[in-house]
Amino acid sequence: MIQPLITSEQREQLLANGHAYAAGHGSDPVPVVRLFTPDAHAIWLLVALDPADGDTAYGLCDVGIGMPELAHVKLSDLASIVGPLKKPILRDLYFQPNRSLSAYAQLAQVDGSIPD
Give domain status of residue 116, yes or no. Answer: no
Q: 6 with 14: CB under 8 angstroms? A: yes
Measure the CA–CA gap between 92 and 5, rounded to whole angstroms: 9
What predicted TM-score, i.e. pTM, was given to this entire model? 0.93
Domain limits for position 96: 8-111
Give domain status of residue 74, yes or no. Answer: yes
Give domain status of residue 101, yes or no. Answer: yes
Q: What is the pLDDT of residue 58?
A: 97
Give domain status of residue 29, yes or no. Answer: yes
Give the count of beta carbons closer than 10 Å to the beta carbon of residue 44: 26
Count: domains in the chain: 1
Question: By three-state DSSP, how is residue 88 classified?
Answer: strand
Q: Could you list the pLDDT tens digit for every one of the 116 residues in the chain?
A: 456 899 999 999 999 999 999 888 878 999 999 999 999 889 999 999 999 999 999 999 999 888 999 999 999 999 999 888 999 999 999 999 999 999 999 999 998 889 87
Beta strand ranges found along the chain (DSSP E)? 33-36, 43-49, 56-62, 69-74, 90-91
Q: What is the pLDDT of residue 2?
A: 54
